[in-house]
Chains A and B, each alone.
Chain A
């Protein structure tokens, strides 16, 4: 079964601390993985995708096929990083249905 699991509903860290939001997936094949972010009172938007291998706002995520994980990391959290983060995948082929995790609410405290 296709599934995305974000084990933490809420993650609270202090400003300047490292942060890791966990994402594990279950998919038989080679999916495309994404992280989306929803800041307070803003629309859900793409943060990064694994095929781009880029760092956005200091965040990175590496696809680990052995562990079927796509954890989101940032070495030094900032208060403006406080938001809801969703991990999602799309399977190979023309099915464009995104499979979503339940989201992790990140709170960065001063």
Chain B
């Protein structure tokens, strides 16, 4: 397995544009997480899914952010409209259904720059 795959690796966009980040979790994993990483705040959980169903989206900063998981092998995080303060590295992670001690496997991240 190639691990969690995210695309694009880098995205530069202008303020006001729509941005869509994509994630393919590891096959067979039931949980999918979206994180944002910044110097000031470290890692922030935005939302996570279990069996394609959003479980906790309390970390989504505002209505400009939305996430979907139409099937077990694909998820998107959309920002519309984007703002410069959204610039960060966005990580997707997945983990299997097993007990709480199971690790989360991370993608390589998407570095988003909004100018």
Residues in A lying within 8 Å of B, measured CB to CB? 32, 34, 42-46, 49, 51-52, 86, 90-93, 96-98, 100-103
B103's contact among A43, A46, A100, A101, by CB below 8 Å, is which?
A46
Bound-state Cα–Cα, A71 to B24, Å: 33
List B contacts of A90 (CB < 8 A).
100-101
B107 contacts the other chain (CB 8 A) = yes
Question: Does the CB pair B109–A100 fall under 8 Å?
Answer: no
Cβ A86 vs Cβ B43 within 8 A: yes
Q: Which residues of B contact A103 (CB under 8 A)?
A: 42-43
| Chain B interface helix/strand/loop/mixed | strand
Q: What is the distance, in angstroms, from B6's C-beta to the closest C-beta of chain A?
A: 9
Q: How many residues on B have C-beta within 8 angstroms of the other chain's C-beta atoms?
A: 25
Asked if residues A100 and B91 are in contact (CB atoms below 8 Å), the reply is no
- Check if B95 is an interface residue, CB within 8 A of chain A: yes
Q: Is the CB of B100 within 8 A of A32?
A: yes
Q: Contacts A43-B107, A43-B109, A45-B106 hold; do A92 and B45 have CB atoms under 8 A apart?
A: no
